């Protein structure tokens, strides 16, 4: 297997999970776009191009996962704040459950699977 | 300030690339995206300045983190419902319905005339053709080729009833038959009839070709 494959898997994982990461940040409270993007970028390896968050936010709003409100800001023009809707909250808790189960299962194989492979080469592990 | 102008140009170039790459998005969606990204650039540049990265270097950092505008536009296109994305229609996108319409107009008259009526209904309810073409197709094809038969039959009937044939009494004598036919009324020269025949047969084909070559999106759009 080429190293490119693992990178591709990570790209797909990132694409699939980023919207729930957006919902998770918003679960802590409403946020305006720039701050939201900044918080997601702070997570290592999660966001490769910050700009791609904007189309995602637009889709989440269309899917009624988030709502937006314009609020005055102390510096500059009014800002668009994003807030989680009940639908978004439900989607987030559903995904969190699934993700935890999935992550644990993969971890068990990846991390747990490393143990027996130590002796697998000789094939004469006497236990 | 020179540096200020350079920064503005960096930003406006970036947004222009975004706008161009997102040209197939609905225009309101595209402008919303451009406005959001512009706002992000302003906020982020301010943050860069506060962190000590002033001038064009700060803006470059911001744009680099945003990623290529083409990536943002591609993401926007992927997130947009397919119905909203403007795709140039393939040049020959004739569907089954349009072909049926034309075939019914041409030959539907042979199915007790009903087929042609259905063809006309399909023609007029279709968004593809303009009113001008609809009238053309309806009038060039009154009952389609069935109309040609009706017309031809009527002409044959007229010419039969108009000609009076008399057999000479010589038939009984076994002599060669002399039949004299006198045509009353008018008679058309042969070439003229042939011309009419050509027009009647070819005109529907020409109109059929015209209808099927009409682009699927209305020209007025």
Tell me the pLDDT tens digit for each residue of A20-74. Answer: 999 999 999 999 999 999 999 998 888 889 999 999 999 999 999 999 999 987 7
- ipTM of predicted assembly, 2 dp: 0.80
Cross-chain Cβ contact A52/B72 below 8 Å: yes
pLDDT tens for chain B, residues 1 to 221: 557 888 999 999 999 999 999 999 999 999 999 999 999 999 999 999 999 988 899 999 999 999 999 999 999 999 888 777 776 555 555 678 888 888 877 887 777 778 888 888 888 888 888 888 888 888 876 777 776 666 666 666 666 555 555 555 544 555 555 555 555 555 667 777 777 777 777 777 888 888 788 776 544 44
In sequence order, what DSSP letters do the residues of B148-188 get, joined into one string?
HHHHHHHHHHHHHHHEEEEE-GGGGGTPPP-EEEEE-S---
Question: Which residue in the set B29, B39, B71 is minimally distant from A49, CB to CB?
Answer: B71
Note whether B78 contacts A: Cβ–Cβ < 8 A.
Answer: yes
Place of tokens 């009238």: B135
DSSP B142: T
Tokens of A124: 């004469």
- This prediction has a pTM of 0.57
Q: Is the distance from CB of B93 to CB of B128 less than 8 angstroms?
A: no
Per-residue pLDDT reduced to its tens digit, A81-127: 999 999 999 999 999 999 999 999 999 999 886 655 444 444 444 44
CB spacing of A50 vs B65 below 8 angstroms: yes
* Residue A37 at interface with chain B, using a CB cutoff of 8 Å: yes
Find out whether B124 and B97 touch, Cβ atoms under 8 Å. no
Q: Do A52 and B29 touch (CB under 8 A)?
A: no
Q: How far apart are CA B208 and CA A74, in angstroms?
A: 67
The C-alpha atoms of residue B58 and residue B52 are separated, in whole angstroms, by 8
pLDDT at B41: 95
Query: What pLDDT, on the 0 to 100 scale, is given for residue B186?
Result: 59
């Amino acid at each position: 297997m080429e190293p490119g494959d693992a990178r591709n898997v990570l790209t797909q994982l990132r694409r699939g999970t980023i919207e729930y990461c957006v919902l998770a940040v918003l679960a802590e409270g409403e946020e305006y776009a720039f701050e939201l993007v900044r918080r997601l970028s702070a997570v290592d390896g999660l966001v490769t191009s910050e700009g791609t968050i904007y189309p995602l936010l637009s889709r989440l709003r269309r899917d009624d996962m988030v709502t937006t409100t314009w609020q005055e800001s102390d510096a500059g023009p009014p800002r668009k704040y994003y807030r989680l809707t009940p639908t978004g909250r439900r989607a987030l808790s559903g995904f969190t459950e699934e993700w935890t189960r999935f992550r644990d299962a993969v971890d068990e194989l990846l991390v747990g699977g490393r143990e027996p492979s130590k002796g697998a080469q000789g094939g004469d592990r006497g236990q | 300030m020179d540096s200020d102008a350079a920064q503005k140009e960096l930003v406006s170039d970036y947004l222009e690339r975004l706008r161009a790459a997102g040209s197939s998005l609905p225009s309101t969606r595209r402008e919303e995206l451009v406005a959001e990204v512009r706002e992000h650039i302003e906020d982020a540049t301010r943050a860069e300045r506060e962190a000590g990265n002033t001038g064009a270097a700060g803006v470059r950092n911001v744009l680099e983190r945003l990623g290529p505008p083409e990536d943002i536009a591609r993401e926007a296109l992927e997130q947009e419902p397919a119905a909203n994305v403007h795709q140039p229609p393939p040049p020959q996108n004739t569907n089954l319905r349009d072909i049926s319409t034309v075939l019914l107009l041409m030959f539907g008259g042979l199915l007790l005339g009903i087929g042609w009526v259905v063809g006309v209904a399909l023609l007029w309810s279709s968004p593809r053709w303009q009113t001008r073409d609809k009238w053309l197709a309806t009038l060039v094809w009154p009952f389609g080729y069935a109309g040609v038969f009706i017309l031809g039959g009527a002409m044959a009937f007229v010419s039969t009833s108009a000609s009076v044939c008399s057999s000479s009494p010589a038939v009984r004598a076994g002599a060669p038959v002399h039949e004299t036919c006198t045509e009353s009324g008018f008679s058309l020269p042969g070439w003229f009839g042939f011309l009419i025949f050509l027009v009647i047969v070819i005109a529907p084909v020409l109109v059929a070709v015209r209808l099927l070559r009409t682009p699927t999106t209305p020209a007025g759009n």
